[in-house]
Amino acid sequence: MREIQKKIRENADDFNDQDSAIGSTRESSSASIGSSILRYREENGRTYHAYKEGTYILPNDEADLQHHMFTLTFGGKLSTVIDKSQKLHRVLDVGTGTGIWAIDFADEHPEAQVIGIDLSPIQPAFTPPNLTFYVDDAEDPWTYTEKFDFIYSRMMTGSIAKWPEFIAQAKEFLNPGGQLEIVDIVFPIECDDGTLSKDSALMKWSNFMAEAADKLGRKVDSAKRYREQLEEAGFTDVVETRYKWPQNRWPKDQAYKELGMWTVENLTTGLQGLSLALFTRGLGWSAEELEVFLIDVRNDMKNTRIHAYWNMWVLAHL
């Protein structure tokens, strides 16, 4: 895995399609979670969060496969800025989802109090003793009584409407010397050698996703502005690291080929969940129209003659 990580980092700037062979208080506010919050809302046969319903675009049954892809990308690490040996007191995982990152991080840092927040209470009941989950909205004013040593946000593009406000709150609630790390995908999908036609189903799907997110006020290219927003909030020595996830196994490089294998599995199996809310709410499509369209999208995603990739950016500060 270390060799894969080394290759991914070393080759990120030289990703060449031509080489192809063929992705308490606020703790407080959740102390009494009403039954209405714990219920799920059903839409087009999928369940979504009931608390602040309509805010988040992904269903509750989103897979954890991405977690494996990130640990593969980062050489087995849970963070690019926090080392296993670092001693932390309080950690916040924003948009924890199923809680898989928070669980692993709490196991890795038993000395830290880890808090995971999300709009859906879909986390497991049995967790490390130093981990607590809360139903909460990261876009609301934060009212924590204590600050954090580390705040982590992953794959929240399309979920947060006002990133400058989120970043400002994160800075306010960091202890001196604390770290904020934001990890996100960037739409649309890209290709460097022309094998991804603008008329292909995959390219259309990617553009439709961005268009729908724009209409709903939650852009999916938000990572392009994180650096500027971090600096405007007062963060110094901001570091932006860019990774690439091949859409499938098309690269010759074995590290990228393996990553592409997981990318295509992640996206094709979760494609309906990724698309439903955006296409039906943002573009007015019916679920039936979408399902027919996704047949061709899945075929393109699996097609190794299409040398497409996703940009994955990590923003942190030294």
Average pLDDT over residues 194-200: 97
Q: Which long-range contacts (CB under 8 A, 24 or more apart) does 273-277 make?
A: 273/46, 273/58, 273/59, 273/61, 273/62, 274/58, 274/209, 275/205, 275/209, 276/43, 276/44, 276/46, 276/59, 277/43, 277/48, 277/57, 277/58, 277/59
Give the residue with greater pLDDT, 296 vs 44: 296
Model pLDDT, residue 285: 98
Phi, psi of 211 (to 5 degrees): -65, -45
| Choice among 33-42, 81-90, 148-157 with the minimum mean pLDDT | 33-42
Average pLDDT over residues 264-286: 93
What is the β-pairing status of strands 131-135 and 113-118? parallel
Non-local CB neighbours of 274 within 8 Å, separated by 6+ positions: 58, 209, 267
Q: Give, rounded to a whole angstrom, the gap between the first and last alpha carbons of the chain.
A: 25
pLDDT over 90 at 230, yes or no: yes
Model pLDDT, residue 125: 86
- Helix, strand, coil % over all residues of the chain, rounded to 5: 40, 20, 40
Give the residue with greater pLDDT, 221 vs 16: 221
Q: What is the pLDDT of residues 252-271, one digit of tens each?
A: 999 999 999 999 999 998 89
Q: Which of 166, 318, 307, 144 is nearest to 238 (CA)?
A: 318
Model pLDDT, residue 7: 40
Model pLDDT, residue 53: 52
| Predicted confidence band of residue 3 (pLDDT cuts 50, 70, 90) | very low
Cβ atoms within 10 Å of 74's Cβ, excluding its own? 19
Model pLDDT, residue 198: 96
Model pLDDT, residue 255: 93
Q: What is the pLDDT of residues 153-165, one digit of tens each?
A: 999 999 999 999 9
- Structure-block tokens of residue 21: 């062979």
Model pLDDT, residue 58: 53
Model pLDDT, residue 6: 42
Give the residue with greater pLDDT, 115 vs 273: 115
| 102: helix, strand or coil | helix
Asked whether 32 and 44 are in contact (CB, 8 A), the reply is: no
Asked whether 201 and 300 are in contact (CB, 8 A), the reply is: yes
Q: What is the pLDDT of residues 34-65, one digit of tens each?
A: 444 444 445 444 343 344 454 545 544 444 78
Distance CA 303, CA 300 (A): 5
Distance CA 142, CA 293 (A): 41
